[in-house]
């Protein structure tokens, strides 16, 4: 297994490019199932979740051609409707195959994703919505088995604006009979990107970006070409890396409009942010001020940047309270940050962080994708060496992370763990 070794203390400077958004790429790839034309997808991030999704699609019978960041998918001859446990257990987003398979082929058998490190993460809202559209759904032997001769449009009110749940229902509704109106949907920009792709394929979707989306079903979607939006979580991680190291970093490809509450919170910490036409520059000269942060559905502060923000607050001046409202178990990075000298107390959904002048490098363990990014940021700022194990979590969602940080001047390298 690989480790990442960082010798902290260097102020990062220079320009870093943001890659394609993993969380937009995954539903867009899954949406290739909705018709038989060629779908050319560009700017795909080279991360493990994306290759897992492509593997799943190929297993179902989708052809995939291309290399690097561009791929052409064709779902003309889908032969299987089963997403097996072996793949789903490595990537929960495999659930995104459920809506498209059911809508296009009338049936789907998708392994039920279990809980994961950051919480129980049920998919009840995905299933309830599909049932309201007329699907017959059973969970047996660990699999969701769904059938519907043709889904029917209806009104669905989501109890919570689930991101992949919204995406699954939008994709299913594209081929349903009649109009589906979805209320209290998630408004994450990745959903807008998926809808842009579906629109290019002939889907009729209205209200994108609001909390009510309606979809007029059509018989089939045709092929299209689409460039995936830039990754706002990656962009936020690089901005925070500039902040935590007292650096000067231009994050090229950071789209201000996608950043929700992030830029405002960063500004409150005292950093200098400059919006430019092709990105955002961050510069920190003075001390970091502590700020309170609460994770919320978009446009609120994203849970996917909570661990990185916690690393930042660990060296800020004063005390901050970070409240996690999306995932109940998403504080697994706290004991690891303690090992680096951070002062953090967790009380239910709240983490109270007393900023210290500095952290000290230590061996730490990554527990999930975004927690790993938080540890990398802490390592970049800490005195001495930090060794992060289990970086396969990081590889699920960050493209060439050590290379990109290295180019900004960080002393960071990937090594094979010696047991
Ligand atoms: C997506 C993102 C993930 C991000 C999360 C929240 C992808 C591939 N992943 O995950 O990076 O952290 O949004 O922004 O886009 N819930 C239910 N029932 C459901 C569905 C969700 O109770 O049927 C709950 C979850 O347990 C969680 C909350 O709703 O507490 C939000 O989950 P959701 O928005 O569905 O997250 P994902 O779509 O899995």
- At residue 257, the pLDDT reads 94
Ligand 1, CB cutoff 6 Å, lining residues: 23, 26, 93, 119, 121-126, 160, 162-165, 186, 303-304, 326-327
- At 326-373, the pLDDT tens digits run 998 789 999 999 999 999 999 999 999 999 999 999 999 998 888 999
- At residue 325, the pLDDT reads 96
**Mean of all residue pLDDT scores within the chain:** 95
Q: How far is the CA of 186 from the centre of ligand 1 (A)?
A: 10
Please tell me whether the peptide bond between 299 and the residue prior to it is cis, using omega within 30 degrees of 0.
yes
Contacts of 122 (CB under 8 A, 6+ apart): none
Q: Average pLDDT for residues 162-172, to the nearest whole number?
A: 98
Catalytic pick among 116, 195, 254, 283: 116
Q: What is the DSSP code string of 308-350?
A: HHHHHHHTSBSEEEEE--S-TTTTTTHHHHHHTT-EEEEETTE
- Measured distance CA(24)–CA(40) in Å, rounded: 15
Identify whether 254 is a catalytic site residue: no
Q: For residue 263, what pLDDT band results from cuts at 50, 70 and 90?
A: very high
Q: How far is the CA of 307 from the centre of ligand 1 (A)?
A: 16
First to last CA, the chain: 9
Domains 2-19+230-416 and 22-227 share a fold: yes
- At residue 293, the pLDDT reads 98
List the domain boundaries for the chain.
2-19+230-416, 22-227
- At residue 118, the pLDDT reads 66
Which of 116, 122, 137, 160, when mutated, tests ligand 1's pocket best, judged by the most ligand atoms within 8 Å of its CB?
Answer: 160
Which of 29, 116, 162, when mutated, tests ligand 1's pocket best, judged by the most ligand atoms within 8 Å of its CB?
Answer: 162
Residue 46 · residue 113 · CB < 8 Å: no
Burial of 80-116, coded b for 16+ CB within 10 Å and e otherwise, reads ebbbebebbeebbbbbbbbbbbbbbbebbbbbbbeee
- At 92-110, the pLDDT tens digits run 999 999 999 999 999 999 9
Residue 142, pLDDT > 70, answer yes
- At residue 240, the pLDDT reads 98
Multiple choice CATH, 22-227, 2.60.120.460, 3.40.50.980, 3.65.10.10, 2.40.50.140: 3.65.10.10
Residue 42 · residue 228 · CB < 8 Å: yes
Q: Average pLDDT for residues 246-271, to the nearest whole number?
A: 96
Classify domain 2-19+230-416 at the CATH topology level.
UDP-n-acetylglucosamine1-carboxyvinyl-transferase; Chain (3.65.10)
Residue 251, pLDDT > 80, answer yes
Q: Average pLDDT for residues 56-83, to the nearest whole number?
A: 95
Higher pLDDT, 112 or 386: 386
Q: Average pLDDT for residues 178-196, to the nearest whole number?
A: 98
Residue 228, pLDDT > 90, answer yes
- At residue 38, the pLDDT reads 97
Whether the predicted model's global pTM rises above the 0.95 cut:
yes
Q: How far is the CA of 164 from the centre of ligand 1 (A)?
A: 6
- At residue 200, the pLDDT reads 98
Q: Whose CA is nearest to atom 32 of ligand 1?
A: 162
Q: Average pLDDT for residues 239-255, to the nearest whole number?
A: 98
């Amino acid at each position: 297994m690989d480790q990442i070794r960082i010798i902290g203390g260097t102020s990062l400077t220079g320009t870093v490019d943001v890659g394609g958004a993993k969380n937009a790429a995954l539903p867009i790839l899954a949406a290739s199932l909705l018709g038989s034309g060629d779908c050319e997808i560009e700017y795909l991030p080279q991360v493990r979740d994306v290759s897992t999704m492509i593997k799943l699609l190929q297993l179902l019978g989708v052809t995939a051609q291309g290399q690097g960041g561009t791929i052409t998918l064709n779902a003309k001859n889908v032969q299987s409707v089963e997403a097996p446990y072996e793949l789903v257990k490595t990537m929960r987003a495999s659930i995104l195959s459920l809506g498209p398979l059911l809508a296009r082929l009338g049936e789907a058998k998708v392994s039920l994703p279990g809980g994961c490190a950051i919480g129980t993460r049920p998919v009840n809202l995905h299933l309830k919505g599909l049932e309201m559209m007329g699907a017959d759904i059973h969970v047996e032997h660990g699999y969701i088995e769904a059938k519907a001769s043709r889904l029917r449009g209806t009104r669905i009110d989501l109890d919570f604006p689930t991101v992949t749940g919204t995406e699954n229902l939008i994709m299913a509704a594209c081929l349903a009979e009649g109009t589906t109106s979805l209320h209290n949907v998630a408004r994450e920009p990745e959903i807008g990107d998926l809808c842009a792709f579906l629109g290019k394929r002939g889907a009729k979707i209205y209200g994108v970006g609001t909390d009510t989306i309606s979809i007029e079903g059509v018989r089939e979607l045709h092929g299209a070409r689409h460039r995936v939006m830039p990754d706002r979580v990656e962009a936020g991680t690089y901005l925070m890396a500039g902040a935590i190291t007292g650096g000067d970093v231009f994050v090229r490809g950071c789209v201000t409009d996608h950043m929700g509450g992030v830029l405002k919170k960063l500004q409150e910490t005292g950093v200098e942010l400059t919006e430019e036409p092709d990105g955002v520059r961050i510069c920190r000269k003075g001390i970091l001020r502590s700020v309170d942060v609460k994770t919320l559905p978009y446009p609120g502060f994203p849970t996917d940047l909570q661990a990185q923000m916690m690393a930042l607050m660990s060296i800020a001046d004063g005390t901050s309270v970070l409240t996690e409202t999306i995932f109940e178990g998403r504080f697994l990075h706290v004991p690891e940050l303690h090992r680096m000298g951070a002062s953090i107390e967790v009380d239910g959904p709240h983490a109270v962080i007393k900023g210290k002048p500095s952290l000290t490098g230590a061996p730490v363990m990554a527990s999930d994708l975004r927690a790993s990014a938080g540890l990398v940021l802490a390592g970049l700022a800490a005195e001495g060496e930090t060794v992060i194990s289990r970086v396969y979590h990081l590889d699920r969602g960050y493209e060439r992370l050590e290379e990109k940080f290295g180019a900004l001047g960080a002393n960071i390298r990937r090594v094979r763990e010696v047991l």
